[in-house]
Structure 1
């Protein structure tokens, strides 16, 4: 009997008090929706629902991709796609074109992962293999910043103010 591998994404709690996932951004249309003017406007009769899918965390995918550095891209890609709901999140980390390569990618408010690309030998490689968590600096004092799942070792440096 073959065991099915775990998916490379997980659902996050979207019902907890205070957890906001971008809901409530209806913009100007949300204020005009049920007015007398809007009733005569056919464009206002459409759906207010966007195409966002809230509540999915792709951290397991990003860790999977990092664990496959140096391996054949075709086999890594086919395994990842088989364990995902869509292939789009793969390309948050993996750059297909030279101009899209980044040393690191911000995946959350304070979460960063190494950027990846496929080299000429069809291997998955790091954009900047010398970049480590020790070289990363947090940009604010209030968050716990992580790089590839590890906490930043440097602390936030407060800006020096010049007083007369």
Structure 2
């Protein structure tokens, strides 16, 4: 029972070191140059902002994607309520899960070369896979320099 409780409280994302070599930090605009430019009506009461930017960089949501794939066939309400308590934001859930029919895709590419099956919530509120016949063989490898994966398994290059 205790092990089950520990697993429920674990986060569904990992922090990634974004300062290592060959890792783009996606820096965006220099927030430090614009944070104190905002003018207040009263120059004596200038509100200063912190150095903290607006983006959460360095998040790896792979544990979330594996969790969602394991939950296929279960009620969406239960899954989503558990996920909400274990994530910093719910946005990555909907990278994989389509709530509307026009959003459904057989394969979903996360990043440059990580592929996962598309998921959707059916009319009964059950999480389903869009196309259950999709396998790693359906992933089109576009270049030889990248390692393409389907649910974490490498996809071989086919000539």
Name the TM-score, length of structure 2 as normaliser: 0.79
List alignment gaps of at least 5 residues for structure 2. Answer: 39-48
1:45 aligned to 17, 37, 50, which one? 37
- Give the Cα–Cα distance (whole angstroms) in 2 for the partners of residues 129 and 8 of structure 1: 24
Secondary structure of 1:112's partner?
strand
1:120 aligned to 101, 119, 123, which one? 123
The answer to whether structure 1 residue 65 and structure 2 residue 68 are counterparts is: yes
Q: Which residue does the alignment assign to 2:138?
A: 135
Q: Give runs of ≥4 in structure 1 deviating > 6 Å.
A: none
1:18 is displaced (CA, Å) by 3.1
Secondary structure of 1:138's partner?
coil
The answer to whether structure 1 residue 102 and structure 2 residue 94 are counterparts is: no
Name the TM-score, length of structure 1 as normaliser: 0.77
Q: How does 1:14-33 map to 2 (within 5 A)?
A: 14-23=18-27, 25-26=28-29
List alignment gaps of at least 5 residues for structure 1. Answer: 34-41, 158-164
